Amino acid sequence: MRKGASDGSVKWHIRSATKDDLDSLLDLEQICYKEETFHRKQLKYLLLKARSIVLVAQISGNIVGSIIVLLRERILNARIYSLNVHPEHRRRGIAGSLMDTALDILEEKGYDNVTLEVGINNRIAQDLYRSKDFIVDKELPHYYKNGDDALHLMRKF
Ligand SMILES: CC(C)(COP(=O)(O)OP(=O)(O)OC[C@H]1O[C@@H](n2cnc3c(N)ncnc32)[C@H](O)[C@@H]1OP(=O)(O)O)[C@@H](O)C(=O)NCCC(=O)NCCS
């Protein structure tokens, strides 16, 4: 699957990740600040073994963004597990494109809803999710290992 997009000056395309993307995904994971990051073993599992959708955004052969969605057996609820865009490529709409592509796939597959957790202080990500029609479902006190609270968000299809 392939979906092109552009902010007018830079073009990127979105595709499914493969096992060859593991190192690039790991690098991106470590560059992007967020509440918690995945280790190699976890990422490898998410990419190769889990029931998941892993998409990457690519510019000139380099991976600059990624989204990981977990799918559940027999339950039509999916969970966005990770969303990253390289700091040098932010504010161009790449996360929005990754999210739109993932939401299209979930809708096509017949999912009822998708959920995610976001740090209570991560206003940028919260703005993005709000713009994609996610609503706050509940608060999750001390959700992260560092003790920070999170918000649990949901979007229905
Ligand atoms: C959150 C993140 C993925 C956004 O990526 P991005 O490609 O810059 O986002 P987009 O350009 O698609 O922006 C989409 C919307 O997000 C919001 N947004 C993005 N950057 C923002 C900023 N600096 N300030 C305020 N709102 C912002 C806006 O609503 C924006 O829409 P707009 O440009 O029409 O105003 C990126 O900042 C990131 O990787 N952060 C670190 C990892 C992280 O926090 N991931 C989410 C964990 S839950």
Instruction: Give the nearest ligand 1 atom to 98 CA.
Output: 12
What are the φ and ψ backbone dihedral angles of 130, each rounded to 5 degrees? Answer: -60, -40
Residue 71: C-alpha distances to residues 12, 46, 109 (Å): 26, 11, 11
**Tell me: the pLDDT tens digits for 98-127?**
999 999 999 999 999 999 999 999 999 999
Instruction: Give the nearest ligand 1 atom to 7 CA.
Output: 11
User: End-to-end distance of the chain based on CA atoms, in angstroms?
Assistant: 21
Q: Helices H, strands E: what count in the chain?
A: 4, 8
How high is the pLDDT of residue 18?
A: 96
Pocket of ligand 1 (CB under 6 A): 32-34, 83-85, 90-96, 118, 122, 124-125, 127-128, 131
**Tell me: the pLDDT tens digits for 24-81?**
999 999 999 777 888 999 999 999 988 999 999 999 999 999 999 999 877 899 999 9
Please state the CATH superfamily assignment of the domain spanning residues 2-156 in this structure.
Answer: Gcn5-related N-acetyltransferase (GNAT) (3.40.630.30)
**Tell me: the pLDDT tens digits for 43-54?**
999 999 889 999
Q: pTM of the predicted model, to two decimals?
A: 0.94
